[in-house]
Amino acid sequence: MDATTTTLAGDLGFPEGPRWHEGRLVFSDFHDRRVRSLTPDGDLATVLDLDDAPSGLGWTPEGTLLVVAMTRRVLLEVTGAGPVVRADLTGLTRSRANDMVVDAAGRAYVGSFGFDLVGGAPVEPTGLVRVDPDGTASVVADDLRFPNGMALTDDGRTLVVAETYGARLTAFDVAGDGSLSGRRVFAGTPGLAPDGICLDAEGHVWFATARTAEVLRVREGGEVTGRVAVGSGSLSYACTLGGADGRTLFVCTAPTWAEGGPRAGRIEVATVDVPRAGL
């Protein structure tokens, strides 16, 4: 399954949080403060301009776009009149809010940095916040080291979370009410910093490594079962599967996550063998 990506779109600030939705890729551009969309043939468009850096994206069962605003630490819902606050996360998070996954019932699971990464503060654990459809927010897991990319299995009963500074993928059982239990290590990733993730139809997880120019596929237990090299040589920060047959791996890449670095964000693509699954 080894392959090398080619560039589909360039000249981006810092692309993150990619989602395949209704025949196109939708992703956040942190530094440009914009949610963008990209068609498989490379047509780039703006979905939403914000006064904040957007991060995690998702949709409710009714089709409403939800967006995490990082520095304000709020979950926004995009209405016909523009974005409005669905939930204020400031009382449940420290530092920036980050990635998110939305389940089939419209519940959003949102991670956060937990410490001042930009300012160089030491790593501190933080929690995972669940926002219910009525806007009620609560902490549903704690002691996570930079919870980042997340994915839910098709049946909605397992949540996998990338702990970037924990060097592991962590899994939880999800109850019918959205509560989490049965915490366990899905896969250790020694020496790597797992960032954005996605699931495939064999139950394996693709994860962006954040420190190397590659994306890796692992099965539960940690065995590496696939590798896609980043053709541009940049670092990988997020990935998702999509395309007409679900076998296009979209990878968000950049030389660095730091604002003020070279403007060289890209969406790169490769074809893989096993199609997408889950949320």
User: Tens digits of per-residue pLDDT, 142-163?
Assistant: 999 999 999 999 999 999 999 9
**Residue indicated by tokens 């089709």:** 63
CA angle 72, 73, 78 (to 5 degrees): 85
CB 129 within 8 A of CB 139: yes
Q: What confidence score (pLDDT) does residue 2 get?
A: 86
CA angle 111, 112, 115 (to 5 degrees): 150
Q: What confidence score (pLDDT) does residue 183 get?
A: 98
> How far apart (Å, rounded) are the C-alpha atoms in residues 89 and 105?
20
Ranges of the chain with pLDDT below 70: 1
How many angstroms separate the first and last alpha carbons of the chain? 22
Q: What confidence score (pLDDT) does residue 262 get?
A: 76
Q: What confidence score (pLDDT) does residue 115 get?
A: 84
Q: What confidence score (pLDDT) does residue 128 get?
A: 98
Phi-psi region of 52 (alpha: psi -120 to 50; beta: other; left: phi over 0): beta
Both structure tokens of 40: 């498989």
Q: What confidence score (pLDDT) does residue 259 get?
A: 75
Q: What confidence score (pLDDT) does residue 108 get?
A: 98
How many helices and strands in the chain, by DSSP H and E? 0, 26
Q: What confidence score (pLDDT) does residue 121 get?
A: 85
Residues 227-243 have pLDDT tens digits of 999 999 999 999 999 99
Q: What confidence score (pLDDT) does residue 1 get?
A: 57
